[in-house]
Each structure stands twice: as C-alpha cells, then as structure tokens.
Amino acid sequence: MTTELHQTQVHLEGLLEVLGKNLYSSPAVAIRELVQNAHDACIRRRLEAGFNAEMKITLRPRQDRHELVIEDNGSGLTHDEIVQFLATVGSGYTRVLRNQTQSEEMIGYFGLGFLSAYVVAAKVEVWTCSYQTPELAWHFVSSGGKRYTLEPAEPRGVGTTVKLGLTAEYADLCSGNVIRGLLQKYCCLLPIPIHLDDQSEPVNNLLIPWRVNEELTPFHRRRALIAFANLFEERFEPLCTIEIPENNLKVRGLLWIQDGAGFATSDYRNVSVFVRNMHITHEGRDLLPLWAGFAGCVLESEALTPTASREDLIQDSAYFQVKALLADTLVVGLKRIAQSEPENWRRIIKRHNQALMGACIADDSLFELLKHELRVPTNYGDLTVNQILKRSAQTLYVRTDDRNNYEEVLFKARAIPVVSGFMFAAASFSQKVADSLNLPIHYIGLNQKISDLFPVQDCSEPALERMRTLFCVAGEGLIASAFEPPYIPLLIMEDKEVKLKERLEQEDADRRIGTAALMLAKMHTQTVKAGERRKVIVNLENPIVQHLIKGSDPEGDTRIAHLMRSFMLTQCCHPSDDDIDFSVEIQKFMVGLQAITLGA
C-alpha cells in the first residue's frame, strides 16, 4: 500500500467566521485591536527609522456616515507587507520585530487583531504609506476579509488610516461618547497620545502614579493614588491604597481597600490587568487571594501572557508568581496601614471585620496581625479576643447554633461572653486563636448529653411529683439537679434526641439522607423515650425552689412557680418552637407578677 502525503487544507471562509465572530467576547474589542495596531506601528517607526518626533493616534467617529476612522503616523506598510501581514491571517510583523529587537514595547503577537474589524464593519478600507517608500501609498479594500483589492493611492504622509464602514448592528461605535469610554477602558496606559477628532487633550492623559518621575509630597501622592484607583473601582470608594513594590516580575500597579461592603456576596475583588500597556481584562479577580473580597487592584506586567483573544490570561507559572506577589503585598500593606495610618486602619476594621476574620483563617501572617484587633460576635455583642478572655477566665466558649437555650442563660447569668460560632468564620477564628495562644476552648451544645451537664440529685418521689406539678406540662420531663449559679431556679431545654426521633418518624427522611445513615439514626433513637420534647431542669440550690417544694401555700406556690416557668421559657426556648406561644407566656408572666404585686 502506498502512503500518501497531503497538505492540510484550510477552509478560509469557516476560519474567518470562527476567528472573527467567536474569538472575542465583545465586538467593541475591535477598537482595542485597531488602536493596538496603530500603537505598534508608531513603536516600529521609532525603532527602525529613528523617528523621534511626536507620535499620535487619532480616532474620528462619523455618526452621520456610520463610519469610524483610525489614523496614526507610524511606520506604514509597503505593498509586500500588506500582502504578507495585513492580508494574511496569523502573520504579524510585530512578533518578528520583537524577536529581532527584544523590545517589550510592542503589544501584538498573534497577527489576528485586524480580523476584529470584519466583525463590526461591512467594508474595511486602509490607506497606508511606509517610511521605507515614502513616495508610494496604497489603498486596501475588503468586505468580509475573504477577498481584497489593492491599488496605488494618492501620495500621503507616512502612516496608516483605517476606515470602518460599520454595520447597522454596531452603529453605536461611531458615537464619540462610546469611543471615548472604550479608549479610557482599553488604552488609558498607552504612552502614545490618543486623540478623539481634533481635540487637543488626549483621551489617555492620565497621571499614572508608578510612572511619575517628579517627587510628589506624601499628601499629593496619596491623592493621586486614590484618584487613579477610583477610575477602576466599580462599586465602592477606595478607602486607602497599597503600592506594589519593585519586584523581579516587573509588575507595577496598586491595590486598594474598598470603603464599603455588600449583602449579596462578600467577594468584591476587582482586578484590572494590563499587559504591555494594553488592557486585557477587568475580571482578573483570581489574582487576588480568595479571602481578599474587600480589595481591588490595577496592575501592568510584561510577565503575564494573554490568551489569543487578549481578554484573559494564561495561568502559567508567571501567573501564579504574580498571584503570590499580590497576596504578600496586600498583607504587608495592611501591616503598614495598621502602623502608620491609624484612622484608615480603624475604618478598615469597622468595614471589613467579618471578612478579615475569614482572611485570617486562610493567611497566618494576617492572623498574627489581626488576632487581637478583630471583633468576634458574642452574646454580649462584638468583642475583641482580649475583652472576651478578660471576662471568661482565659477560656473561649463557642456555641454552635443560634437558638436561645439554657447555655446562653447560664453564661449570661455569670456575665461570660459566648462566641456565636454559627456566624461566618467566628468558630474557626476562635479555634485558631485558642491554638495560637494555647487557650482552652469549649464548644457548647456539641455532643453533650443533658445527664452529663446536669447530674440527677436524689429526691423523694413526693418531692419529684411536687416539682412536676409546679413546673412541668404535658410532654416535658423533669430533672432534679443542682448547678451554678444558685439564683437561676430552673432551665427549660429542648431534648435534641427526641427532636431527632420525631423528625425521623414524621418526615419522609428516606429521601433526604442515605439509607445507611438513616438506619443508624433510627437505631440510636429507638432507646429515646417518646413524648418528652423538653426537659425542665429544676435547680435544687435555689432557695425559692426549696420553699415551693415544701408547699406551705398551695395557691401562692403555684402562682409563683408558673411565673418562674413563663419567665424562663422566654429565656431558654426559641420563638420557632411551634408549641410555645411567647406572647401568651409573657402575658402569663405579667399577670402573675401583677397578682403578686397587687395581691389580686
């Protein structure tokens, strides 16, 4: 059998369709690509021809004609260069020149950018004159990019003019306001001035802080940094800034802390990336640590590699090195702010306390900086770790659910703060604090049995029956115990095991949890006594309880017992308990109090 060797064929029409219409996420990218080509032509003329006069790029929207014109006084193209580079997909002179000169000033690489013109324009015309043949000019015309005409043109100055005959779908690209907005987004860092029509002020006339040569006072530098950050922060005002220091990756830029937060999400990372002065993406949030949901960043780097569409970044080794650099810069910057900008530091803590707790869990150096400054949610409000430890005998107590229960009553009675571990990052932060400071930490209500917490005391059957009559209702069990503090007469708490048994029996649990787990749960709850949804734990150390057990005044004792029960129900139980009407219990308490006070 003869082996055949064939040349791979390219279906040009299909390739142009894919590259032109599917390579870029937005047709507006065509403006960026054409300005990029003009920029590279200007750099080429300076490098090859030694042209040191002022370079200039001008865009002229012609709304009445549905046209957009892009002009530059760059290198221009010869006849052969038009054929080899402009009219050949994937062939770009910029890559050739970069390899020859090792210059990183030029932006283009893939030779695909000119294709974007065919996405927005029904007709593309180019007039160009090369510095190499200044006596010759050429006129290139193409509709759709599959075919083109090329002919000599009237003599003109060195440079290139591109005219887009925009389709009706993209007619807004001939609006001056639209073009200005796109230029400010994509081209604000380009060193070559970009003008709109004949306006004297360049659109990209920005004060870029890390490029400022003259010395600025600290005040004016802070103002410049905040003003620059404001251009890129989409949601909040920048509170303060952190400059990226000199580094081997040649990354320049700044980070900022946002002066605000939202409710929909805690992640408001905002990162704009420029590669070789051209905007690549404003969605580079993954370059910042996941915990930095309160930070923004704008950076430029030659180390990062854009994708072919130049709208995203290749996640290569340089990408992760830049990511590590930004994380370190953010932590070091926060330390500096804490030391030298106390007013801003207080605002940061106030705005982003909860997010910073999560950040501390992920970053040890940040944790060391913040562990004594952040406020942890407790039953006494937000407190610092030192405030908590001062009131809790150097022990951390954390509760794992948000229900009012006996634990909160006991700890409040002793004025001991309990961390609300069910809130974001609070439990993990507390655990990390305990590990760091070698402190005891107790998780309240986690795998704790009532009998372990409140040992049963020996009582006669008449005394037990008396307490049931005074303090219990149907569906409640009694535990006669003794606990501190003695001035708490009783506690009423939900029996979690009974609650589990009821849920397994009443709900269609087989559809919600696995069969094996369900069988184990049912085996466990088979030993649980049914019908006692709550336990009433009577404190035998309480003098009023002892008085009521003796029963010297049946009517008065019952009234006092019911008063105590109603009050403790409102303290220990959760409003969602379906068999407790809190308004009724409060009324009972007030009626009983009134009866005792007024003798009714």
- Report the side by side order of strands in the sheet with 490-494: 476-481, 534-539, 490-494
- 329 within domain boundaries: yes
DSSP state of 402: -
| Residue written as token pair 């509170």 | 239
Q: Which residues pair with 536 in a beta bridge?
A: 478, 492
Q: How many CB atoms are closer than 10 A to CB 19?
A: 21
Categorise residue 66: left if φ over 0, alpha if ψ from -120 to 50, beta otherwise: left
In a domain, 360, yes or no: no
Among 380, 484, 363, 481, smallest CA distance to 429 is for 363
Residue 365: per-residue pLDDT: 87
Q: Is residue 361 part of a domain?
A: no
284 and 170 share a domain?
no
3-state secondary structure of 44: helix
CA distance 488 to 544: 10
- pLDDT score, position 288: 95
Residues 290, 412 within the same domain: no
The tokens for 191 are 């060193």
Which of 196, 221, 241 corresponds to the end of one domain? 196
Q: What is the CATH number of the domain that holds 231?
A: 3.30.230.80
Do both 177 and 294 map to the same domain? no
Interatomic CA distance for residues 401 and 319, integer angstroms: 41
Kindly compute the dihedral angle of the four CA atoms of residues 538, 541, 545, 548, in this order, to the nearest 10 degrees. Answer: 130
Written as tens digits, the pLDDT of the chain (600 aa) is 678 786 766 666 666 666 556 666 677 788 888 999 999 999 999 998 888 889 999 999 999 999 999 999 999 999 998 888 887 765 666 666 666 766 667 776 555 678 788 888 999 999 999 999 999 999 999 998 788 999 999 999 999 999 999 999 889 998 999 999 889 888 889 999 999 998 989 998 888 899 887 777 888 888 989 999 998 998 899 999 999 999 999 999 999 999 877 666 778 999 999 998 888 888 899 999 988 999 999 999 988 988 877 778 999 999 999 999 999 999 999 999 999 999 999 999 999 998 899 889 988 988 999 999 999 999 889 999 999 999 998 999 998 876 656 666 777 777 889 999 988 899 999 999 999 999 999 888 655 666 666 889 999 999 999 999 999 988 888 999 998 888 888 888 776 666 656 555 555 545 555 555 545 545 544 544 555 778 899 999 988 899 889 887 888 888 888 888 888 887 776 555 555 565 666 666 667 666 665 555
Give the pLDDT of residue 101.
Answer: 65
What pLDDT is attached to residue 500? Answer: 57
Q: Encoding tokens for residue 5?
A: 């060797």
Beta bridge partners of 399: 420, 444
Dmax (CA) of the chain: 122
Instruction: Work out how many domains the chain is built from and give that number.
Output: 4
In a domain, 518, yes or no: no
**Inter-residue contact 582 to 588 (CB < 8 Å):** no
Angle at 130 between CA 126 and CA 134, to 5 degrees: 115
Residues 123, 104 within the same domain: yes
In a domain, 520, yes or no: no
CB neighbour class for 200 (10 Å; exposed up to 12, middle 13-18, buried from 19): exposed
> What whole-number distance in Å separates Cα of residue 374 and Cα of residue 383?
8
Do 380 and 297 share a structural domain?
A: no
Per-residue HEC secondary structure of 545-564 comes to HHHHHHCCCHHHHHHHHHHH
Please check whether residues 432 and 478 belong to one and the same domain: no
| Distance separating alpha carbons of residues 506 and 516, to the nearest angstrom | 18
Q: What is the DSSP string of 508-558?
A: -GGGTS-HHHHHHHHHHHTTSPTT--EEEEEETT-HHHHHHHHTS-HHHHH
Check whether residue 410 and residue 546 sit in a common domain.
Answer: no
Same domain for 33 and 116, yes or no, is: yes
Q: What is the pTM of this model?
A: 0.73
The pLDDT, as a whole number, for residue 518 is: 46
Give the strand pairing for 375-378 and 295-301: unpaired
531 burial type by CB count under 10 A (0-12 exposed, 13-18 middle, 19+ buried): exposed
CATH of the domain at 34: 3.30.565.10
Specify the pLDDT at position 525.
46
Residue 486 domain boundaries: 451-495+532-598
Distance separating alpha carbons of residues 514 and 510, to the nearest angstrom? 7
Looking at the structure, do residues 190 and 119 belong to the same domain, yes or no?
Answer: yes
Pick the last residue of a domain from 196, 223, 244. Answer: 196
Q: 252 near 244, Cβ under 8 Å?
A: yes
Contact predicate 350/259, CB 8 Å: no
382: in domain: yes
Residue 556 lies in a domain: yes
Which of 196, 231, 258 terminates a domain? The answer is 196
Question: In terms of C-beta density within 10 A (0-12 exposed, 13-18 middle, 19 or more buried), how is residue 140 classed?
Answer: buried
Helices (H) and strands (E) in the chain, counts: 20, 20
One domain, residues 379 and 265: no
**One domain, residues 73 and 99:** yes
CA separation for the pair 159, 130 (Å, rounded): 7
Assess if residue 523 is contained within a domain. no
- SS3 (DSSP) at 420: strand
**129 has which bridge partners?**
159
pLDDT of residue 147: 87
Residue 30 shares a structural domain with residue 172: yes
> Beta strands of 236-362 (E only): which ranges?
238-243, 252-258, 270-275, 278-281, 295-301
